[in-house]
Structure 1
Amino acid sequence: MLKTITALILWLLALTVQAAPITIASARVWPGADYTRITFESAVPLSHKMTVLQDPDRLVLDLENVELGATLKTLSDKVQGNDPYIKKIRAAYFKPGVVRVVVDLKTETNPSFFALKPAGEYKHRLVLDIYPKQDPLMAMLDQRAKGDAAPQEEQGGGGWSPSTDIKSAEAAQAVEKSIKPDSAPAAADNTPDADDNNKPLPKNGVDRLITIAIDAGHGGEDSGAHGASGTYEKDVTLAIAKRLKSLIDAEPNMRGVLTRDADYFIPLHGRVVKARKLQADLFVSVHADAFTRPDAKGSSVFALSENGATSAMARYLAKKENESDLIGGVNLDVKDPYLARTLLDLSQTATINDSLKLGKAVLGRLGEINNLHKGMVEQAGFAVLKSPDIPSILVETAFISNPEEERKLNDDAYQTKLATAIVTGIKKYFASNPPLARSKMAMQ
């Protein structure tokens, strides 16, 4: 009898727990040029249903057994006026036990919806990614493909035009204005001409615009490493990347392209794919990592390795960076059609050799403004460097876990020095390794 009563009590308690409404611990909105992400975080998985409606365009999300708390009621306050896709968000009880969240859209979109298990500092997450109906990059590439049928102009071969840059010229100029003139090189003090096709040809024989993909590490849900004073790696890397783009754009034959231009997440393979879609000549990923000891310091440059890491530190950092997708959140059910053709199972020996040359040139310049953690380019299996045909390096500008280096990383003038060192190293690399004539990459 006692066992029966105990079992009944436990059953009733279980029903009570199940009936208790779920609290949304946090809700976040990450707007970006590529897509906008909405994240709902909770202690347990959320039961949900999404519907896409038109006239007007909106997304309807029904959350079952969820409490309509302050987090959901104030979600619309997190929507920025310049969000390219979201007009506003509304939340209310649709029926007993069901909270309905309505996302009013500015245009027709292509939404992606998925759940993430706990990772890093996050609990269970329900993620809504809102993409444009047509990928802007794909639209640009389609236009370029049409142009390939016509006679090609020598300048800017391959159909590349400054007007196709992800960032607008005005945005690049705004970044330049934020760099103090007394801390930037002379080249960065001059705003690039609006028409880059009129830039004089360099003396090194390069007769086309060189495209350099600049990858600001982490972003959005993935904040990267944290400094003791609260500095996020994702913010530092974006600031340095923007300065680097400004300096590159000031060069007569170079154009920088940012893989992300705001605080949003891009999967590691997505960064590689973007660089290849744009037929980048180089790929530079900017980071500011942390180590278990706060006394670790100095700048480092890494290239890809096909045969293991060159040091325990390189292996440790590669492992941390490769976990970025778990933290940032990737929808594994959606297969990128370019992924299989990008991470090719082929020998990357030639590309790695060029990456090492580029890394050596950049590392030498970084050594002029900061201590070097190691005086050689290190190698490890960084996923973000796995482009089979683009020389790629990962620059650890400093250790954000070191209090002194964290302070420097937050200094505008020091950020400019880091960006200047990188672009100077890039120029040195091209001085002895001029880019080949533009050819079609194996993306067909």
Structure 2
Amino acid sequence: MARIVIAWILIAVSNVVAAGASHEVLGVRVSATGDRTRVVLDLSGPTEHRIFTLNGPERVVIDLPDTRLSRTAPRPSGSGVVKRVRSGVRNGRDLRLVLDLGSAARPKSFLLPPSGGTGHRLVIDLVAAGGTVAARPKQPVKTVDKVLEKPRDLVIAVDAGHGGKDPGARGRRAREKDVVLAVAKRVARLIDAEPGMRAVLVRDGDYFLHLRERIRRAHKAKADLFVSIHADAFTDRRVRGSSVYVLSRRGASSEMARLLARQENAADLVGGVSLRDKDDLLKKVLLDLSQSASIEESTEVASEVLRELRRIGKVHKRSVQKAGFV
């Protein structure tokens, strides 16, 4: 297993700051593992950003409009592929951050909303371009009696909302249950076309399923990700756009209480570990850790989905929303 090196970096204060900027970068965190480096900007709120690369020497440039650097940020240091972080002000109100790199890397960025006591964050993942992994010293060959199984496909449960007696939202000529079923089937086909991925339709026809039954079917299929598709309606025809939601901490807490009352189901949330022989405090800790990790991962996936939706149309909110669905 690769050793994970984590460093905390706060950007040095420039002599010039963006006066009157609406947003603020509170600090920067960097973690590195193998040929990947993650840079996290802690923000005072959601903000736009633009990212691009320069070479000779290798750099990643991040522009944040109407943003300033916190005066309390101490001097930075480097980690992973990032040698150092520099900052400057553009156009009097915009902040430019420059990541000086030790070698070429491909950046990928996404925004995360507040969760688990942390605020808004801009995440930049840097993957070494054409990097090679150092050869490991030869180890004695170990034999096992059992042949290791091949890695399984990533299973995604695609849930078309409503159905049967529940039509959902109604339009002049369409019902939500029909629209989302058609969308779900198309999404499933696209997923199945991707190597290493497999879709499971929670409902494949016009019939009603309770929420618990939808969850049960996803668990039975050993789904890694549950995606529910809905098509909301509004009285004003000018209202358009997409929204992306994940389960809130409040909803997760309600679900945890229900699962603790039904211990045979709680194992689904802790990797199949039985809770029957655990005391009440340990049960709560195990479930809380598992749910916190699930919410964090769900938020990262949802942020990527929202980012792609922005490319093809209008969105209602610029960040992932949270709700207690269960």
Q: TM-score, normalised to structure 1's length?
A: 0.33
Normalized per residue, which structure has more strand?
Answer: 2
Normalized per residue, which structure has more helix?
Answer: 1
